[in-house]
Chains A and B, each alone.
Chain A
Amino acid sequence: MSLIVCDSSSLISLSDTCNIDVLRFLRQHGGKFVIPPAVEEEIIKHPAQLKQYAFSAVRLRKLVEDGVVLTQAPPRLASEKQAIENAANSAVRVDGKPLRLIHAGEAECLALLRIAPQDAQKTLLVDEKTTRLLIESPKTLVERLRGEYKTSVEIDEAAMRAFKTGLEKITVIRSTELIAVAASLGFFADYGTAAQDATHTALGALQLAGCSVSSDELREYNTVLK
């Protein structure tokens, strides 16, 4: 079983680029999309109160109502979320001072993955870069931060180990990977001869919507999806 926990950043990118139906399509191909309550709050409940975002909230709510995206709140979620937030927010230090890197929503996504059964294929769908780098390559994050702060930026190894515990085997994907895989499975088939154009422009739109994907990576997708 593959469990894909969705951070709000990816749902926002997909929604803002009119690609939210990719979740419906991939659900039919075995994807199990899950969100924690904090993400539901961020993408549905909070924006529903704001005129300019209410329609997006309705579309995302429909995905939850249709069972395409499931909200899960297992009993240990709050305590695991707190443990992850504490560890992540002590794991990188600037001149000895811990950087408060992540927020409750991102921590709750990771907590869901930590709690999930060990035999599940655990995947985090996230478009913002900090959570992804903490999982995939904290060293890359620290190198970039050294460039920004131009001072001592170090990893607190004990806090990083505490953060990584139970998250070692997680795969991280972004909305771009969802679109690319969906395209390879025929998501854009209705576009006929324009299907390839639709795929590449959809990927480009995700970058413009904020997804942390580089222009080199987008060019590489041209080759991968040929």
Chain B
Amino acid sequence: MKDGRRRAQTTAKLRAFLAAKDANNLKSLSGDCAQHAFLFEDAALLDAGLLAYAFAKFLDKPYIVKSKEWREYSRYALAELEKTQAFFKEGKNEAGAQTLHALLDEAEALSATLGRFARSVVEKARVKAATQMYAHGASLGKAVEITQTNKKDVFAYIGGTHLQEQYATLGVRQRFENAKKLFEDK
């Protein structure tokens, strides 16, 4: 699939799930976007995924959904996403990517204004996206580089998942013996 088509389809889904206030599908879309952003090295897909996660988190909070600010922002976002989808369909990839990025900046500002979040919703989305990339093969450094977040935050998040259960290779005794040999000569 061509990049523009993939982006247009993703934007269409993002818009449809936002219009339907469908937090579950938005969360699922954010995971798919992170995976595709890593695989196809596509920053616009990353932004779409970050937006999907941020929308889902906003929709989870009744006090946000009822607010005037969210109603205004979501109306604006739906219109902007329609424009973005058209940009991508027409091959205007830069314009589409810029619109998505601007929406993301505004979501971050909304999170700061409205949220009772200790950390910005968009920052949480970056950590989640980095973890998804780590699960899909990226090293910690690569995942953090792409998502522009912090290694400590991502590693701590990974520590709370079951990801570590999947990558055992050598036996523990062998590892221990190998390591012991390094510190034998005082």
Contact = CB atoms under 8 A, between A and B. Distances in A.
A164 to B, nearest CB: 15
Contacts of A112: none
A118 to B, nearest CB: 17
Contacts of B144: 103
A181 B167 CA distance: 21
B176 A180 contact: yes
Contacts of B166: 144, 214
Interface residues of A, number: 69
Given A26-B183, A30-B184, A214 B137 contact: no
Nearest to A221: B172
The interface centre, meaning the residue of B168, B179, B185 with most chain A CB atoms within 10 A of its CB, is: B179
The dominant DSSP class at the B interface is helix
Contacts of B158: 210
B5 interface: no
A79 interface: no
Given A12-B151, A12-B152, A101-B137, A129 B167 contact: yes
A53 B185 CA distance: 35
Given A30-B183, A104-B141, A214-B164, A148 B178 contact: no
A148 B157 CA distance: 19
Given A99-B39, A101-B137, A177 B175 contact: yes
B185 A30 contact: yes
Contacts of A214: 164-168
A208 B180 contact: no
Interface string A114-157: 00000001010001111111001100110011001100000000
A66 interface: no
Nearest to A88: B139
A181 B186 contact: no
A101 B138 contact: yes
A8 B167 contact: no
A103 B41 CA distance: 14
A13 B156 CA distance: 8
A42 interface: yes
A208 B160 contact: yes
B contact residues, range: 35 or more
Given A102-B142, A130-B140, A144 B167 contact: yes
A210 B158 CA distance: 5
Contacts of B86: none
Interface in B144-179: 144-145, 150-152, 154-160, 163-173, 175-176, 178-179
B137 A9 contact: no
Contact of A50 (B137, B150, B172): B150
B41 to A, nearest CB: 6
A165 B181 CA distance: 24
A56 interface: yes
A94 B141 CA distance: 20
Contacts of B180: 181, 184
Given A136-B169, A216-B168, A101 B156 contact: no
A125 B95 CA distance: 44
10 contacts: A9-B140, A16-B155, A47-B152, A100-B38, A101-B137, A102-B142, A121-B182, A129-B134, A129-B163, A212-B163
Given A30-B182, A56-B152, A213-B164, 18 more contacts: A9-B151, A53-B150, A97-B40, A99-B138, A102-B141, A103-B139, A103-B141, A103-B144, A121-B181, A128-B140, A129-B164, A130-B137, A149-B35, A181-B180, A210-B140, A210-B155, A211-B164, A212-B167
Interface of B: 35, 38-41, 134-142, 144-145, 150-152, 154-160, 163-173, 175-176, 178-186
